[in-house]
């Protein structure tokens, strides 16, 4: 897949087949993440990979899905949940503020996932205290974001933005994601 195809194909996916992702691919995603830009090149981000079925089950209730959708469409059904997670941590002993680094690193992971035929969901609406407790994460680590991963079991397509940013699902289960056009996105050209 070429660069343009990866960018255009990446969509948030929240339903997954139950085919497992190899650890090799997950480590490749961390490889993409570690090569992302970092302010002053100070690299404070570290990652937890979760594939263990029991751990996945314990983590799942601490994630909040698709808040723009009606409640009955939000959360993946039991047999369509993610098969892996990457948790992005910031080691505050190395750097206190790393939010931009987190964004760059997460995007590399999402694009890498698309390249490998995976679906992904960037998740910020997460219960950090409960995740810390579950995984015994020491206080020096901030729990920044969770990335849910798996082989896709839903379609998501871009449609032109008209007057609402709200994504929505049609009767067949296809997600529609309004995106502003290039012209709507450019403030000014000098």
Residues that bind ligand FMN in the complex, under the rule CB under 6 A: 11-12, 14, 64-66, 121-125, 156, 167, 177
Q: How far is the CB of 55 from ligand FMN (least distance, A)?
A: 19
The token pair at 7 is: 């960018």
Quickly tell me which residue has 């948790």 as its tokens.
87
Closer by beta carbon to ligand FMN, 22 or else 129? 129
Closer by beta carbon to ligand FMN, 117 or else 124? 124
Tell me how many degrees the CA angle 79-113-73 measures, rounded to the nearest 5. Answer: 40
Closer by beta carbon to ligand FMN, 5 or else 125? 125
Q: How far is the CB of 166 from ligand FMN (least distance, A)?
A: 9
Q: How far is the CB of 168 from ligand FMN (least distance, A)?
A: 10
Closer by beta carbon to ligand FMN, 23 or else 170? 170
Q: How far is the CB of 89 from ligand FMN (least distance, A)?
A: 16
């Amino acid at each position: 897949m070429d660069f343009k195809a990866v960018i255009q194909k990446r969509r948030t996916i929240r339903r997954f087949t139950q085919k497992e992702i190899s650890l090799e691919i997950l480590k490749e995603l961390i490889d993409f993440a570690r090569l992302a830009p970092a302010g002053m090149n100070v690299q404070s981000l570290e990652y937890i990979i979760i594939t263990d079925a029991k751990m996945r089950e314990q983590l799942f209730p601490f994630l909040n899905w698709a808040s723009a959708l009606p409640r009955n469409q939000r959360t993946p059904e039991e047999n369509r949940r993610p098969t892996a997670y990457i948790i992005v941590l910031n080691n505050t002993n190395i750097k206190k503020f790393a939010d931009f680094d987190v964004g760059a690193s997460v995007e590399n992971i999402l694009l890498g996932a698309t390249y490998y035929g995976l679906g992904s969901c960037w998740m910020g609406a997460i219960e950090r205290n409960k995740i810390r407790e579950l995984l015994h994460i020491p206080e020096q680590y901030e729990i920044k974001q969770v990335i849910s991963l798996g082989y896709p079991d839903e379609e998501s397509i871009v449609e032109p933005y008209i007057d609402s940013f709200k994504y929505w699902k049609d009767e067949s289960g296809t997600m529609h994601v309004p995106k502003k056009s290039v012209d709507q996105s450019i403030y000014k050209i000098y």
